[in-house]
Amino acid sequence: MKIYFDGASSTEGFYLGRKHGVVDWKEKRWTKILAKKLGAEEYNFALGGGSNPRILRNITTEHDISDYDLAVILMTSEYRTEFFWNVEYIPVLPNKKEYGTPEISKFWEVYYKIILDEQYAMKYDEVIYKSIRAICAVNNVPLVLMSDSRKTKLPFDIKVTREKYEHYTHTDGHPSLDAHSKIADDIMNFINITSVL
């Protein structure tokens, strides 16, 4: 069995090592724990600072989702995006200030201060949400679709929020090391209850 995982830093797990000194962080992240529980191979394509447009790009153009037996995707903040510059995709976050050149940095500053509207962000997120569900359905790939957004009203299978899972601090948006096991357990319970597989 092969499991496709995607998302941002809470799925990638690198912050466990970089910020919290967990040496074997790839073995301790929830994706690996879940894969072990299911006796499956873990294919983790998440990226710290990643966005929902990146997740959609990944399953439509970068990876063939039909090669997998299950997809488990943790969508992130509606306000993140990406752009292509200098032969690579660059993650864009509301609190990031530097983007290669002063002109590009100024553009994103203006985008977040003046251009981006919350209604647009929520609607575009719904487009991505429905697209991910449709792509998995048309390829007959069972899906567990989750979110770590505190603002979304979309009917996600699981919400990975501060209110539900322990975080290192109240200002840190990442689940604690202990929370990774709980996330894997909750996904496993969801799979068993809903007969996703």
Model pLDDT, residue 167:
85
Model pLDDT, residue 163 = 87
What pairing do the DSSP bridges indicate for beta strands 70-75 and 2-6? parallel
Domain ranges within the chain, ordered by starting residue? 2-92+120-194
Sign of CA dihedral 130, 132, 133, 134: positive
Per-residue confidence (pLDDT) for residue 47, from 0 to 100: 97
In the block, tokens 């203006």 appear at: 110
- Is residue 70 within 8 Å of 145, Cβ to Cβ? no
pLDDT by residue, tens only, the chain of 197 residues: 999 999 999 999 999 888 888 899 999 999 999 999 999 999 999 999 999 999 999 999 999 999 999 999 999 999 999 999 999 999 999 999 999 899 999 999 999 999 999 999 999 999 999 999 999 999 999 999 999 998 999 999 999 998 899 887 777 779 989 999 999 999 999 999 999 88
- Does domain 2-92+120-194 correspond to CATH entry 3.40.50.1110? yes
Tokens 């929020």 belong to residue:
161
**pLDDT the model gives residue 20:** 83
